[in-house]
Structures are given as C-alpha cells and as structure tokens.
A and B are shown apart, each in its own frame.
Chain A
Amino acid sequence: MIVVAIVFLVVAAGCFLYRVLRGPSIPDRVVALDGVLSVVVSGIIVAAAEANSDITLSTVLVVSLVGFVGTVALGRFIERRGG
C-alpha cells in the first residue's frame, strides 16, 4: 500500500523536476521548486508513517518553512530583476 503512495510521489517529483530543468522563465522554475519541496515534505511524512515513529516529523516543519522563505525571497528577486 505504501509502495503506491511512494510511486505517486516519485512521479510527482519527476514532473516538477522536468519543469525545473525545462521551465522557460525563472518564475516557472521557482514554482516547480516549491512543488519539489512539497513532494519532499509529503515523502518525509509518508516515510514516518511507514516507520510508525514521530522522530523525523520535526524536519517537516523546517523544510516547509525554508520553502516558504525561499519562494518569497525569489519572488522579491524576480520583482526587482525581471523574469
């Protein structure tokens, strides 16, 4: 059962990474990187559920906050510099 979830997450990560590599403009890449971080967060939670332990769940908070700060910082950068 957990394998199906992991396969879905791997496909999602592949899609987002395709857009990161391919994206015609910087905002596309930033959006896709945000998605990659979302996939990472979901992956950590799925791994915690499979291991049935809560010790890795604190990292989820850190990763999601770093993703938010990074996206907003890149947004300001794009606003000033142009896509």
Chain B
Amino acid sequence: MGIVAGIFLIVGSLLTMIGGIGVVRFNDLMSRVHAAAKAPTLGLLLVAIGAAIEIGSGKAVVTLLLVVVLQLFTSPVATHVLARASYGQVDIELDGGDDLAQHFAEKRAEAAEEAKAAAAAKLAERRAEPPRNHGDG
C-alpha cells in the first residue's frame, strides 16, 4: 500500500465518519441532512482517488470516475427531494425567516383558487344543461 493512496483512503473514511457523527449529534432533520449529504460525498471522492492511485488499472480508474461523477450528481438531488418532501411534516429549528413557508402558502392559495374556479365552472355547466326527466322514459 502506497503512502499517498493510504492517506487518501484514511482521510476519505474519516470524512465519512464525521458525517456519521453529525447524523448522530445534530438535533433536527435539516442539520442531519446537511451532515449526511456532504461529508460522505467528499469522503467517497477521496476514497475513490486513493483506490485509483493504488489499483492503477484503466478499468478501475474509469469505473471510479463514473462512480464519483454519478454520486456528485445524484446525492444533491436525492437529498433535496427528501428535504423538500419532509418540509412541514417534521419539526425543524430555523435560524432566520422561513422563506419556504411563504412559497408554499402562495402555492396553496393558487391551488385553492383554481379548485374554486373549477367548481364554479362545473356548477355553471350543470345549470346550463336542460333538466332531466325522471321516470318518464
């Protein structure tokens, strides 16, 4: 095991461990997401660099590059989907103002207005129809 590769592997693993400690120690969901998303991604990057240096074959380098690029693309997407889905469903602590609250309130008001308009249109349509004959046919 080369010195440089070993150092990369150890530092990458250390970053993953720091992410794990953050997930245990932080006390609300958004902080935990923050700890769990970023540190292990950088750790994986460093571990992959170390392994690429150690193995050194072309296939290993290409595979590890692919893994790192995919991780860099998918990790923020997955974390964002999860954090946005769980907004408003779990208790979170905020430092400042809640910008998403206003956004969601506007969206909810728009949806309510649309629903109201759709209901009014339906009612008008029903009134425009001729009354049905019951029991004559």
Partner of B44, one of A14, A42, A50, A68: A42
Contact check, A75 vs B81: say whether CB atoms are below 8 A apart.
yes
Contact with A along B64-83 (1 / 0, CB 8 A): 10110011001101110111
CB-CB contacts below 8 Å: A16-51 with B: 16, 18-19, 24-28, 30-32, 34-35, 38-39, 41-42, 45-46, 48-50
Would you give the shortest CB distance from B89 to chain A, in whole angstroms?
Answer: 4
Interface residues of B (CB under 8 A from A): 1, 5-6, 9-10, 12-14, 16-17, 19-21, 23-24, 29, 32-33, 36-37, 40-41, 43-44, 47-48, 50-51, 54-55, 57, 59-60, 63-64, 66-67, 70-71, 74-75, 77-79, 81-86, 89-90
Chain B binding surface, main DSSP class:
helix
Chain A binding surface, main DSSP class:
helix
Question: For residue B10, which residues in chain A have a CB less than 8 angstroms away from its CB?
Answer: 1, 4-5, 8
Would you give the shortest CB distance from B113 to chain A, in whole angstroms?
Answer: 22
Q: A19-B23, A61-B63 are in contact. Are A25 and B29 (CB under 8 A)?
A: yes
Q: A57-B64, A68-B74 are in contact. Are A83 and B89 (CB under 8 A)?
A: yes
The residue in chain B whose Cβ has the minimal distance to the Cβ of A50 is B1
Contact check, B78 vs A42: say whether CB atoms are below 8 A apart.
no
Would you give the shortest CB distance from A24 to chain B, in whole angstroms?
Answer: 8
Interface residues of A (CB under 8 A from B): 1-2, 4-6, 8-9, 11-16, 18-19, 24-28, 30-32, 34-35, 38-39, 41-42, 45-46, 48-50, 52-54, 57-58, 60-61, 64-65, 67-68, 71-72, 74-76, 78-79, 82-83
Complex Cα gap A65–B84 (Å)? 21
Of all A-B residue pairs in the complex, the 4 with the closest CB atoms, nearest first, are A15-B20, A12-B20, A8-B13, A54-B60
Contact check, A31 vs B81: say whether CB atoms are below 8 A apart.
no
Contact check, B24 vs A19: say whether CB atoms are below 8 A apart.
yes
